[in-house]
Chains A and B, each alone.
Chain A
Amino acid sequence: MPDISIAMLATQLFTGLVLGMIFVLLAVGLSLIFGLMTVVNFAHGSFYMLGAYFGFFLFGLTGNFWVSLGVAPLMVGTFGLLVERFLVRPLYGRSIDDPLLLTFGLSLVLVEGARLIWGKIGVTFDPPRELGQAVDLGFTRFPAYRLFVIGITAVVLLALWLFLDRTDVGLIIRAGSRDPLMVQALGIDLGRIRLLVFGIGTLLAGLAGVLAGPMRGVHAEMGVTVVIEAFVVVVVGGMGSLAGAVLAGLMIGEVVGLTTLVAPKLSEIMVFVVMAVVLLVRPSGLLGEAGLLE
C-alpha cells in the first residue's frame, strides 16, 4: 500500500474508466433487450466477439480503421435483427427461461463458427496510427487509443439517451419496458419495436467488440468471460434500468481496476462478491424496479 501515489491512483481511475466503458456498452445493450423483451441474451458476448471479427475483416478489406469502426457494429446489429426474427421471436409467450436457453446454444454455434471462418489462433487488429501513441496526461503517459474509447463511448451513450428521451420511437421503447400490455392495447405493434431493440442492443455489443479488439486482441473466446461480467453489471444496476447499467458498469470497472492494483488475486472474485452483496442488500439492483421479473 505505501508505494501508491496520487499519480498512480489517478492513472488507475482512468484505467478503470476504460474498463467501465466497455462494461457499460455491453450492459446497456443487455439491459435494453431485457427491459423490453424480458429476454436474457446469453449470446451477447458472441455478438461482442463478432463485432471485433467484423472490424478485423473490414479493416482487411478497406485498410481504413474508421470505416471498420462505423460499419462493423451495423453488421452485428443486422445479424441481431435476423436472430431476433427467426430464433427469438418464436419463443414469445413461452417460458421465460427459453430465450436464455436458446441464446446459450447460439453462443456455442457462433464461437465455433468464428473459429471455422477466421482460424483457431485469433487475429490481430491494430488501432490506427494516429492513436497508436501514448499521450502525456501530466501524471502519467496514457495510451491515446484508450482515451479515444472513453470519448467515443460517451458520445454513443449520449446519442442513445437522446434517442430514447426525445424521439417517438424512444418513447414507445420506454413505455413498452414499463407496460407492454398497455402499449399493445394502444395499438402499437410491439413486434417491430422488439426487432429494433434487439438490433440496437446487439449493435452496442458489436461496437464494444470493435473498440476492445485493438486493445485486447481478437479471438473466438473473447466474449465468453465477458458475457458473465456483463450480466453481473446488469443485475447490479438493476435489470431493465439503463441508468443503472451505466452506473454499475462504471462502478465495477473502477472496482476491478483498483483491486488489480492492490490485491490482484482477488480481482476475479470481486465482481461476484459485489453482485452477491448488492443483490442480497438491494434485491432489485441499484436502480432497478421492484417486482420486475420475479
Chain B
Amino acid sequence: MMGRLASGIGAFPVSAFLAFFAVFPFLVPYKALATQVLISGLFAVGFNLLYGYAGLLSFGHAAYFGLGAYGAGIALAKLGVGSIWGGLGLGLAAAATGGALIGFLCLRRRGIYFAMLTLAFAQLLYFVAFHLADWTGGDDGLRGIPQLPVRLPGLALSLEGSLAFYYFAFALTGLAVIGLRRILDSPFGAVLQAIRENSDRAVACGYDVNRVRLLSFVFSAAFAGLAGALEALRLTVIPIDSLYWTTSGQVVMMTLLGGAGTFFGPFVGAAAYLVLEDRLSVLTESWPLVIGTIFMAFVLFLPKGIWGTLTGGIHGR
C-alpha cells in the first residue's frame, strides 16, 4: 500500500511536494523545525543531483552551502546591500561560481580522488574563511545580518514570525524543486543519468561528458548555495562550521537515509534525520551513537534509503 502511494506521489512529484510542504509546519512539533527540514532538504537536493543523478560523490558540499550563506551574509551585513533579493542573489552567485571553479578542478579526476579533492577544497575554504575574520567573523560567526522585509512590487512582507519565514523559504524551495524537475526531465537530465549508468557508452554516443558533468556540478552548487543563503537569513548568524567537513558529512547522511537518486529522497532524509535528532537529543546525550548506528544499518541493509525502498528504487542504485 505504501509502495502504491509512493509510486502515485512519484508520478506528480512537484504537486505532491507543494501540497505536502504547504501544511508541513502544522505536522511537526514546532515551526522552526519545519523550516530547518525544508532548508536542509534543499541542500540535500543539491547534493543528490550530483551524487544520485550524476553518480559523483562529493565530500565537500559544505563549500557551496557556506559560499551561499557567506555571500548573502556579507552582502547584507558588511556591504550594506539593502534588499533581501540582493543578498540571496549574491549568495547564489558566489555558490555557483565556487561550484564552477572547484568543479572544473576536481572533475579532472574521478572516483575516490574526486571525492578527496572536493574535501580538500572545502577544507581550504574553511580555513580561509576562519582567518578572514574581518569579513566572515572567523570562528565567532558572521553576525549583524539585518532582518529585512521581502519587497515585491507594491508589497513589503515582514519575515519576523516563524511561520512567515517558513512560507518565504517554501516559496523559494518550491521554485528550486520545479527547476530541478525541469532539469531532470530535459535532454540534459537524460544525458546526465546516462553518464552515471555507463560513461564510456555516453562518450561513444558522442556526448560531451565533461561539460555535462561540470554543468551538473554548478547546478548542484547553486541549490546548495540557495539553502545556505536561506539558512543565513533564518538564523541571522553564520557559524564557521557551515564550511566544515562535518556539514558535508551530514548532507551525505541525509541523502542516503532518504534515498539517493530519488526525487523526494533528500527531503525524506532531511526530515527523518532532523526530527530524530530533535526528539532524541532531549532523551539521550549519545545522539551520534544512535545516528551512526542507524546510518550503518542503512548502508548495509537499506542502501536505497527510506524513499528509495518505498518506491522500489526508481533510479535503482
Note whether A and B contact each other (Cβ less than 8 A): yes
Partner-B contacts on A (CB < 8 A): 34, 40, 87, 90-91, 94-98, 100-102, 104-109, 111-113, 115-116, 228, 231-232, 235, 239, 265, 268-269, 272-273, 275-276, 279-280, 283, 293-294
The verdict on B299 contacting chain A, using a C-beta distance below 8 Å, is: yes
4 nearest A-B residue pairs (beta carbon): A108-B292, A105-B295, A109-B292, A112-B289
Chain B residues within an 8 Å CB radius of A104: 249, 252-253, 295
Report the Cα distance A112→B280, complex, angstroms.
15
User: A91 to B300, Cβ gap below 8 A?
Assistant: yes
The verdict on B296 contacting chain A, using a C-beta distance below 8 Å, is: yes
User: B127 to A268, Cβ gap below 8 A?
Assistant: yes
Q: How many residues of B contact A (CB 8 A)?
A: 37
User: B123 to A283, Cβ gap below 8 A?
Assistant: no
Chain B residues within an 8 Å CB radius of A101: 252, 256, 295, 299
Chain B residues within an 8 Å CB radius of A116: 286, 289
Say how far B271's CB is from chain A's closest CB, in angstroms: 19
User: A109 to B288, Cβ gap below 8 A?
Assistant: yes
Interface of B is mostly: helix
User: B124 to A109, Cβ gap below 8 A?
Assistant: no
Q: List 12 A-B contacts (CB under 8 A).
A: A96-B111, A100-B115, A104-B295, A105-B295, A108-B295, A228-B123, A231-B116, A235-B116, A269-B128, A272-B123, A272-B127, A283-B109
Partner of A109, one of B109, B115, B293: B293
Report the Cα distance A200→B300, complex, angstroms.
24
Say how far B300's CB is from chain A's closest CB, in angstroms: 6
Closest to B123 in A: A272
Partner of B296, one of A87, A97, A232, A276: A87
The verdict on B168 contacting chain A, using a C-beta distance below 8 Å, is: no
Say how far A111's CB is from chain B's closest CB, in angstroms: 7
Report the Cα distance A104→B291, complex, angstroms.
11
Report the Cα distance A116→B288, complex, angstroms.
11
The verdict on B113 contacting chain A, using a C-beta distance below 8 Å, is: yes
User: A228 to B245, Cβ gap below 8 A?
Assistant: yes
The verdict on B121 contacting chain A, using a C-beta distance below 8 Å, is: yes
Chain A residues within an 8 Å CB radius of B124: 269, 272-273, 276
Closest to A107 in B: B292
B residues 115-164 with Cβ under 8 Å of A?
A: 115-117, 119-121, 123-124, 127-128, 131
Say how far B91's CB is from chain A's closest CB, in angstroms: 24
Chain A residues within an 8 Å CB radius of B109: 279, 283, 294
User: B299 to A98, Cβ gap below 8 A?
Assistant: yes
B residues 250-279 with Cβ under 8 Å of A?
A: 252-253, 256
Chain A residues within an 8 Å CB radius of B57: 97, 100
Partner-A contacts on B (CB < 8 A): 57, 105, 108-113, 115-117, 119-121, 123-124, 127-128, 131, 245, 249, 252-253, 256, 286, 288-289, 291-296, 299-300, 303, 317
User: B299 to A108, Cβ gap below 8 A?
Assistant: no
Chain A residues within an 8 Å CB radius of B293: 105, 109
Task: Using A108-B288, A276-B124, A294-B110 as known contacts, list a sample of 4 further A-B pairs with CB atoms less than 8 Å apart, ordered by residue number in A.
Answer: A94-B303, A239-B112, A283-B113, A294-B109
Partner of A235, one of B105, B113, B286: B113
Knowing A239-B112, A269-B127, say if A275 contacts B292 (CB, 8 Å). no
User: A106 to B111, Cβ gap below 8 A?
Assistant: no
Chain A residues within an 8 Å CB radius of B317: 95
Chain A residues within an 8 Å CB radius of B294: 105
User: B300 to A106, Cβ gap below 8 A?
Assistant: no
User: B295 to A293, Cβ gap below 8 A?
Assistant: no
- Which of A90, A97, A269, A275 has most chain B Cβ within 10 Å? A97
Chain B residues within an 8 Å CB radius of A91: 299-300
Chain B residues within an 8 Å CB radius of A293: 111-113
User: A279 to B296, Cβ gap below 8 A?
Assistant: no
Say how far B272's CB is from chain A's closest CB, in angstroms: 15
User: A294 to B299, Cβ gap below 8 A?
Assistant: no
Knowing A102-B300, A112-B288, A294-B110, say if A228 contacts B131 (CB, 8 Å). no
Say how far A219's CB is from chain B's closest CB, in angstroms: 15
Chain B residues within an 8 Å CB radius of A269: 124, 127-128
Chain A residues within an 8 Å CB radius of B131: 265
Closest to B105 in A: A280
